[in-house]
Amino acid sequence: MMRGAIRQGTRQGVGMENVNYDTHIMPVGFNAPARPHAPLQCAALVRTAMNAIPHRKLDYQANKLAKRLRHQVGQAIADFNMIQEGDRVMVGLSGGKDSYTLLDILLKLRAKAPVRFELAAVHLDQKQPGYDPHVLPAYLRAIDVPFHILEQDTYSVVKRVIPEGKTLCSLCSRLRRGSLYTFAAERGFTKIALGHHRDDIVETLFLNLFYGGTLKAMPAKLRSDDGRNILIRPLAYCAEQDIARYAQQRGFPLLPCNLCGSQENLQRKAIKAMLADWEKKFPGRIESIFRALAQVEPSHLADAALFDFAGLGANGAAPRADAHAWLAGREDDSS
């Protein structure tokens, strides 16, 4: 029978008096290597596990966000029939968070899409001071996406036409759209995908309502004014806050949007602040307003071109008096 020796140890501490931390039988003459205390090992493992929890939570949240955005983009494409078999889709890539997100999600959706379609990114170099022409090409080559960089000095045109201190954005965007639309028509692209999102659409609704006196927003799909292009906005269902978080998580090489030194459109800025305040006080209000755009009741508005109010309950055989007749009254009316 092998002789052995029992070796025990205890640790003193709060709530741990006389706790055996290492008990084992060793053959006589065997010099065991030093072992760290088991409670210390346990504590280290616990700390490692606790430190890993935030990372796992962040990964879960990031995956959940990406899945939500993909679902919303896919739903918008399906609802408005944005992309069909054989389409050649030109993605307008400005270098901002929205257009990067749009391209990224379309690439992911294309891998499993029920239809085959082409994607190409197009960016307009407007010759703004401080612009880095290497950022976008490097990124697009790295992800293996076909791209075109157009060069047009719209910056000088805008600075020459717009008085000092005035907002440059309106004219700048019109010139940019003109360049992109012409290029798309010349190269045979069937769709132009733009990065406008849900918040842009709601802001445009209030801009038109408050400053234009019209009840219209920004459509998810439309034909351009010149009739040559079909424009689609696959991010129509996506919240700007989600897009900003996604762009940060993905680490897109964003280009600054203030190279020209122009201030954001003051009217849009005011609308954005109003909506942000509403959303803070009443969470979900922006989404509710957006849903209202898809649930329009023309009979409960006042546009006679959309609903035949005049014919409602009217006697078809009776003549209809116009506004002048109602104001002037009958000829024999002496009052």
pLDDT digits (tens, 9 = 90+) for 70-110: 999 999 999 999 999 999 999 999 999 999 999 999 999 99
- Give the model's pLDDT for residue 296: 94
pLDDT at 11: 41
What distances in angstroms separate CA 19 from CA 10, 12, 16, one per listed residue? 5, 7, 6
The model's confidence at residue 333, banded by pLDDT at 50, 70 and 90, is low
25 domain-assigned = no
Q: CB of 192 within 8 A of CB of 179? A: no
CA terminus-to-terminus distance, the chain: 133
- Is the residue at 196 inside a domain? yes
Query: What is the identity of the amino acid at 288?
Result: S
**pLDDT interval class at 45 (50, 70, 90):** low
Q: Is the pLDDT of residue 241 over 70?
A: yes
55 pLDDT band (50/70/90 cuts)?
confident
- What residue numbers bound the domain in which 143 lies? 55-297
**Does the pTM of the predicted model rise above 0.75?**
yes
Separation between Cα atoms, residue 26 and residue 23, nearest integer Å: 10
Torsion of CA 268, 92, 151, 87, to 10 degrees: -150
58 burial level (CB within 10 Å; 0-12, 13-18, 19+):
exposed
Which amino acid belongs to residue 278? W
Residue 255 belongs to a domain: yes
Q: Which residue, 236, 191, 243, 192, is CA-closest to 218?
A: 236
Q: How many domains does the chain divide into?
A: 1
Question: Please, what is the angle between helix 154-161 and helix 169-187, to 10°?
Answer: 150
Residues 288 and 239: beta-carbon distance below 8 Å: no
Tell whether 24 is covered by a domain.
no
Residue 316 is assigned to a structural domain of this protein: no
Looking at residue 2, its pLDDT comes to 44
Whether 310 maps to a domain, the answer reads: no
Residue 21 has pLDDT above 50, yes or no: no
Taking Cα atoms as reference points, which of 273, 104, 268, 92 lies closest to residue 183?
92
Q: Does the pLDDT of residue 263 top 80, yes or no?
A: no
Assigned domain for 269 exists: yes
Query: What is the model's pLDDT at position 315?
Result: 79
- Is position 127 within any domain? yes
CATH number for 287 = 3.40.50.620
Residue 184, pLDDT score = 95
Structure tokens at 254: 């964003």
3-state secondary structure at position 268: helix
